[in-house]
Amino acid sequence: MVFSSIIFLFGFLPIFLIIYHFIDQRYKNHFALLSSLFFYTWGAPNFISIAILSIVADFFIVSFLSKSEGRNRLYLLWSSILLNLSFLLYFKYTNFFIDNLNSITSLFNGSEISIGTILLPIGISFYTFQKISYSVDIYRRIKNPLDSIVDYTLYILLFPQLIAGPIVRYNEIADQLHNRDSRNYDDKINGFYRFSIGLAKKVLIANEFGIKADFIFSLSTTDLSTSEAWIGILCYTFQIYFDFSGYSDMAIGLGRMMGFSFPENFNSPYLSKNISEFWRRWHITLGSWMRDYLYIPLGGNQSNKKWRVYFNLCLVFIISGFWHGAAWTFILWGAFHGVFLIADRLFLNQISKKWPSWIKIVLTFFVTVNGWVLFRSESLPFAMDFYRSLYTFNFNNIDTYLENKFIIITIIAIIISFGSISKLVSTNYSLFLSSVNLRVSLAKVALSIFLILLASAQLVSTTFNPFIYFRF
Amino acid sequence: MKYIKKGLYLLLILLLILPLTQLLFPFVELKDLDGHFELASKPTYDLSKFKTGEYQEEFESYLKDSIGFHNFFIRLNNQLNYSLFNKSNASGIVEKNKMLIPESYIRSTLGLDFKGEKKLREYVSRIKVVQDSLQKMGKHFIYLHIPGKASIYPENIPDKFLEKKNDENNYNTLLHLLTEYQIHHIDFYTYLLLKKSQLESQIFANNSVHWSGNTVSVVADTLTNYIRSQFKLNTPSIKRLQGIKTVKDYRYTDYDIAKSMNLFWNIAEDTLYYPKIEFISNNAAKPSFLACGDSFFQSFNGFYPILDSVFSSESKFYYYNRLVDWPKKYKKVGIKANELNIEIEINRTDIVILESTDENIPLFGFGFIDDLYNHFTNNSITDSKSLKKFAELEKVKNRAKTIHKIAGYSYEDMIYSIASSKTKSISKEEFEKLVEQKKLSILKTPKWVARVKKQAIERNITFEENLRLNAEYSAKKSLNL
């Protein structure tokens, strides 16, 4: 069940919100868990048992861990991490490793291994990271473990962030699991507003770009002109941002209506002045998870040897790319960003120090757009051919792409993506978002109704409605 | 203030729950949508389908199509797209200079569906056989060519289509061939272009697929005049009188595209003219016709009762050679064209009419010309065993009981006619093609060739003769004849 579907919007969500609103505080977690289980089972009936099995096992391992001392503590931590990673590795990467192994053995006329296609349980990449954060946070004694398995299962399966994040670390939500204000109407209105903004971003903007991007990426690269290739990749650039940030907005908004405060996941990433900054603004919860649970344990910036720091950086970004998908294109995309991050530290930041901000933003945007080619392509040869189309300077007529609707949506997307470059806009919008003034609340309600109506009209009328980050 | 905010929040939740409430307990009556669309039906729960996710997918489709206020949401989306982005939701429709044109007509005008002279010549030569055969029976044939909107308004074809223009199109080639083969025809394209400046309103309304009511009144007059002068048949004449101009009360199909766009508000204000029509009868018997064509022919009765008033009620109109669309009594019980006996129908008629627009030329007369050609040349092979079997079916007999009086057939003739429509038949040309294919298959199989040789000696006929017999046998077997 996706948030931008009629069944969620007009079925699951209102029924959930009404019951959740009126149910006694003591049973809110139980009800939220039941709803989350239904939500997950509806989308992945074959995987719910696996998810629950791993959750129960993990809960008890970490319970023992919290009561243990010395080396046992470390062993239990590794048991938990390995348990979670083994599920992820099996479901997400087995096919990839076997395909690559077969490619190698075929070079030596070896026999092929075949185990059939393993389906990916939805949300596994996200909830695996949350589970690891639970084990590590308990191990580091940052927070106490949860007493109730209901609360733990709810933390992992809570439907707003279950499938595509944000990745909520245990220490960020531990207290809210049993102590949150779910009767605050400012939070509820703000949450609803945030949800409708996310829905509109996804349905009204991302989908419009998605149709064009999918069309252009389905064309044979031999027929693709430079102008078409640029339209295609720019459409994808906006599609992925509005799709993923829209989903995050919806998740954060839903959480807020329930009394949770989830971490932010995006902060105008296309305004970044270098790739390091991009990763502080794009998929923030993944970046900070990687930093705290991988980069720092590897030694982070603290190593005396510079090469070691660069190695750590590159490794973290390759793993980050691989986390997005079991394909060489994702690994290369991670490495591509890793290389720019190292270049930032080596010389780029120094060189560009005195450049005007807008030049740095344009250049960073250009690098990011080029990175998306790897991310979007089904294979490396396709990506290489696509790059060729981008840079052969073979321009043709693109009138057929430039419909009124597309032009207007593009202008809106540009304004939203780059609008907060103006301090006046960003400050006022932040004030608007956080304000609890009655007039502002009225404006938010009116805007929410308007956006929900527009998005619903589009949803009922069209069939194109994919979520990019569901596959990760 | 807390209570106001609580009220606001509950208002938002109410907004979300309303569509489900409307689905379960409809409390607002909404206007139906126009046009053809298929809605997903409610799936029945099945655990195995649930496990594969198939049930969920079907249920979500069902809910999407049936949710309360579905029609309102569709109209809202269409209206926004049209008003804000000038984008029409009607599929296959493009717009230029405020005129909506179906893409299929543009393709025909630009020759993108050109079938080639060879095929069109074969088609016209068949028409010629039909016309000559009818003439021998003292009956007439006429071909009516009706232009599509794009050919009348080429200036409104969007530029992106013009790049693909072909040098030839079906209409030009067909017209040349109709003249060459001396087929009686009326070319309404040329006729309307000449009349364009004299007409009281547009040939096609801006927002319709079909020609306008005024145009129909003019061409109907031309058609009846042609029948009177060329075929010497006595039809009542049509007198066009002073009518009304309107910017909103459009009739019949004069707003058909816009209607199917399902908007909240009417678009573009065409000023259309609807003359009054008087039929002047001289009390002579009205001629009857057997016509086949598309929706443009329907407009002869859609705007004004032209068919009812000018022709005998024995006449029939086959819509795409599938359904008997007129007279109404046939349509009411859904009589299909192939349920009627072609010989009986020809004998009853004075004029056979084939009508087609540009777009439908590639359908080569909807199969109607083939039926007539096969009838006149005795060019079909029917499985007589099956025919007998069908004639004995209760279902066929019941159907014959229901419709034989409407069709004016004897009960037995009706049974035979319905049974024929269900029996497989194949034209002689197609059968010959199949026999040739079978011959080749035999020749490619050495064992089979040896058997045919041996058999030829036993039968005391030549190898060639026996090869033909075997191929015929094999062809009939594969057709179950």
Whether B50 and A45 lie within 8 Å, measured CB to CB: yes
Backbone angles phi, psi at B45, to 5 degrees: -70, 140
- Is-contact B268 B98, C-beta < 8 A? yes
Does residue B59 sit at the A interface (CB-CB below 8 Å)?
A: yes
Range B26-41 average pLDDT:
82
Return the structure tokens found at B2: 């807390």
Range B423-443 average pLDDT:
80
| pLDDT at residue B180, rounded to an integer | 96
| pLDDT at residue A297, rounded to an integer | 86
Does residue A110 sit at the B interface (CB-CB below 8 Å)?
A: no
Q: What does the alpha-carbon distance between residue B451 and residue B460 come to, in Å, rounded to a whole number? A: 14
Tell me if the bond preceding B327 is cis, omega within 30° of 0: yes
Return the structure tokens found at A16: 């959930």
The helix or strand, by DSSP H or E, that contains position B352, with its residue range, turns out to be strand B351-357
Residue of B nearest to A7 (CA): B60
A117-126, pLDDT tens digit by residue?
A: 777 788 888 8
Whether B15 and A459 lie within 8 Å, measured CB to CB: no
Range B58-83 average pLDDT:
91
Residues 437-466 of B with CB under 8 A from A: none
Nearest by CB to residue B9, choosing from A6, A188, A438, is A188
For the ranges A455-464, B64-73, B233-242, B376-385, the lowest mean pLDDT is seen at: B376-385
Does residue A457 sit at the B interface (CB-CB below 8 Å)?
A: yes
- Model confidence at B424, pLDDT cuts 50, 70, 90, reads low
Return the structure tokens found at B326: 């007129």
Is A178 one of the annotated active-site residues of the chain?
no
Nearest by CB to residue B16, choosing from A9, A441, A454, is A9
Given the structure tokens 């989308």, which residue do they identify? A43
Whether B77 and A403 lie within 8 Å, measured CB to CB: no
The full length of chain A comes to 472
3-state secondary structure chain A: CCCCCHHHHHHHHHHHHHHHHHCCHHHHHHHHHHHHHHHHHHHCCCCHHHHHHHHHHHHHHHHHHHHCCHHHHHHHHHHHHHHHHHHHHHHHHHHHHHHHHHHHHHHCCCCCCCCCCCCCCCCHHHHHHHHHHHHHHHHCCCCCCCCCHHHHHHHHHCHHHHCCCCCCCHHHHHHHHHCCCCCCHHHHHHHHHHHHHHHHHHHHHHHHHHHHHHHHHHCCCCCCCHHHHHHHHHHHHHHHHHHHHHHHHHHHHHHHHHCCCCCCCCCCHHHCCCHHHHHHHCCHHHHHHHHHHHHCCCCHHHCCCHHHHHHHHHHHHHHHHHHHCCCHHHHHHHHHHHHHHHHHHHHHHHHHHHCCHHHHHHHHHHHHHHHHHHHHCCCHHHHHHHHHHHHCCCCCCCHHHCCHHHHHHHHHHHHHHHHHHCHHHHHHHHHHHHCCCHHHHHHHHHHHHHHHHHHHHHHHHCCCCCCHHHHC
Does residue B19 sit at the A interface (CB-CB below 8 Å)?
A: yes
| pLDDT at residue B109, rounded to an integer | 95
A81-112, pLDDT tens digit by residue?
A: 999 999 888 888 888 888 888 888 888 877 77
Assign B241 to helix, strand or coil. Answer: strand
Report the gap between the CA of A2 and the closest CA in chain B (Å).
Answer: 11
Does residue B83 sit at the A interface (CB-CB below 8 Å)?
A: no
Nearest 10 degrees: CA dihedral of A143, A146, A151, A154? 50
Report the gap between the CA of A182 and the closest CA in chain B (Å).
Answer: 13
A392-420, pLDDT tens digit by residue?
A: 887 777 777 888 889 999 999 999 998 77
B443 half-sphere exposure, CB direction, 13 A CA radius: 10
Nearest by CB to residue A18, choosing from B13, B59, B60, is B13
Q: What does the alpha-carbon distance between residue B22 and residue B29 come to, in Å, rounded to a whole number? A: 10
Whether B12 and A445 lie within 8 Å, measured CB to CB: yes
Q: Which of B2, B4, B6, B8 to mutate to test the interface with A (most CBs of A within 10 A)?
A: B8
In a shared domain, residues B259 and B116 = yes
* Domains identified in chain B, total number: 3
ipTM: 0.84
Domain boundaries, chain A: 6-179, 186-471
A431-462, pLDDT tens digit by residue?
A: 777 777 888 888 999 999 999 999 999 999 88
Does residue B84 sit at the A interface (CB-CB below 8 Å)?
A: yes
In a shared domain, residues B204 and B117 = yes
Residues of A in contact with B50 (CB under 8 A): 45
In a shared domain, residues B179 and B118 = yes
Nearest by CB to residue B13, choosing from A17, A438, A460, is A17
Whether A6 and B63 lie within 8 Å, measured CB to CB: yes
Residues of A in contact with B67 (CB under 8 A): 6, 10, 460
| pLDDT at residue A465, rounded to an integer | 56
- Give chain B's mean pLDDT: 89
- Is-contact A52 A149, C-beta < 8 A? no
For the ranges A76-80, B74-78, B418-422, the lowest mean pLDDT is seen at: B418-422
Tell me if the bond preceding B26 is cis, omega within 30° of 0: no
Domain span including residue B467: 426-478
Residue B415 falls within a domain, yes or no? Answer: no
Nearest by CB to residue B67, choosing from A10, A15, A21, is A10
Pairing mode, if any, of strands B316-319 and B323-326?
antiparallel
The domain boundary, picked from B91, B109, B130, lies at B91
- Model confidence at B90, pLDDT cuts 50, 70, 90, reads confident
In a shared domain, residues B68 and B107 = no
- Model confidence at B361, pLDDT cuts 50, 70, 90, reads very high
H helices of B303-338, in order, are 306-310, 328-332
| pLDDT at residue A472, rounded to an integer | 53
Does residue B264 sit at the A interface (CB-CB below 8 Å)?
A: no
Residues of A in contact with B60 (CB under 8 A): 1, 5-7
| pLDDT at residue A171, rounded to an integer | 87
In a shared domain, residues B452 and B355 = no
Residues 140-179 of A with CB under 8 A from B: none
Whether B5 and A461 lie within 8 Å, measured CB to CB: no
| pLDDT at residue A428, rounded to an integer | 75
Q: What does the alpha-carbon distance between residue B112 and residue B120 come to, in Å, rounded to a whole number? A: 15
In a shared domain, residues B177 and B259 = yes
The domain boundary, picked from B29, B56, B91, lies at B91
The dihedral sign for the CA sequence B176, B178, B181, B183: negative
* A78, pLDDT greater than 60: yes
Q: What does the alpha-carbon distance between residue B26 and residue B55 come to, in Å, rounded to a whole number? A: 25
A230-237: long-range contacts at Cβ-Cβ below 8 A with a sequence spacing of 24 or more? A230/A390, A231/A398, A231/A401, A233/A369, A233/A370, A233/A372, A233/A373, A233/A376, A233/A386, A233/A390, A234/A369, A235/A209, A235/A210, A236/A209, A236/A372, A236/A376, A237/A270, A237/A368, A237/A369, A237/A372
Residues 180-219 of A with CB under 8 A from B: 185-186, 188-189, 192
Residue B168 falls within a domain, yes or no? Answer: yes
Assign B154 to helix, strand or coil. Answer: helix
Does residue B87 sit at the A interface (CB-CB below 8 Å)?
A: yes
| pLDDT at residue A102, rounded to an integer | 85
Range B73-100 average pLDDT:
85
Nearest by CB to residue B4, choosing from A21, A438, A449, is A438
- Is-contact A282 A369, C-beta < 8 A? no
| pLDDT at residue A414, rounded to an integer | 93
Pairing mode, if any, of strands B140-146 and B323-326?
unpaired
In a shared domain, residues B81 and B112 = no
Report the gap between the CA of B159 and the closest CA in chain A (Å).
Answer: 10
In a shared domain, residues B289 and B434 = no
A7-28, pLDDT tens digit by residue?
A: 999 999 999 999 999 999 889 9
Out of A21, A30, A324, A337, which one is annotated catalytic?
A: A324
For the ranges B41-50, B126-135, B337-346, the lowest mean pLDDT is seen at: B41-50
- Model confidence at B481, pLDDT cuts 50, 70, 90, reads low
Cα B174 to chain centroid distance, Å, stands at 19
Return the structure tokens found at B424: 């497989």
Name the nearest CA neighbour of A386 among A239, A235, A222.
A222
- Model confidence at B458, pLDDT cuts 50, 70, 90, reads confident
Q: What does the alpha-carbon distance between residue A299 and residue A295 come to, in Å, rounded to a whole number? A: 7
For the ranges B282-286, B313-317, B446-450, the lowest mean pLDDT is seen at: B282-286
In a shared domain, residues B140 and B86 = no
Residue B385 falls within a domain, yes or no? Answer: no
A149-162, pLDDT tens digit by residue?
A: 999 999 999 999 88
In a shared domain, residues B155 and B177 = yes
Report the gap between the CA of A80 and the closest CA in chain B (Å).
Answer: 29
Does residue A398 sit at the B interface (CB-CB below 8 Å)?
A: no
* Inter-chain contacts counted by CB atoms under 8 A, chains A and B: 110
Pairing mode, if any, of strands B316-319 and B99-102?
unpaired
CA angle B372, B377, B380 (to 5 degrees): 80
A419-438, pLDDT tens digit by residue?
A: 777 777 777 777 777 777 88
Residues of A in contact with B42 (CB under 8 A): none
Whether A10 and B20 lie within 8 Å, measured CB to CB: yes
Nearest by CB to residue B5, choosing from A42, A404, A441, is A441
A321-351, pLDDT tens digit by residue?
A: 888 888 899 999 999 999 999 898 888 888 8
Range with the largest mean pLDDT of A117-126, B153-162, B454-463: B153-162
Assign B328 to helix, strand or coil. Answer: helix
CB count within 10 Å of CB B144 equals 21
Whether A6 and B60 lie within 8 Å, measured CB to CB: yes
In a shared domain, residues B87 and B120 = no
| pLDDT at residue A165, rounded to an integer | 75
| pLDDT at residue B260, rounded to an integer | 84
DSSP assignment letter at B277: E
b/e map A118-130, b = 16+ CB within 10 Å: eebbbbbbbbbbb
In a shared domain, residues B106 and B86 = no
* A471, pLDDT greater than 60: no
Q: What does the alpha-carbon distance between residue B473 and residue B481 come to, in Å, rounded to a whole number? A: 10
- Is-contact B211 B217, C-beta < 8 A? no
* B170, pLDDT greater than 60: yes
* B155, pLDDT greater than 60: yes
Name B147's Cβ contacts closer than 8 Å, sequence gap at least 6: B171, B188, B189, B192, B357, B358
- Is-contact B278 B227, C-beta < 8 A? no
Residue B291 falls within a domain, yes or no? Answer: yes
Range A165-193 average pLDDT:
89
The helix or strand, by DSSP H or E, that contains position B280, with its residue range, turns out to be strand B272-280
The full length of chain B comes to 481
* B434, pLDDT greater than 90: no
B405-420, pLDDT tens digit by residue?
A: 999 999 999 998 998 8
| pLDDT at residue A470, rounded to an integer | 57
Cα radius of gyration (chain B): 28
DSSP assignment letter at B210: S
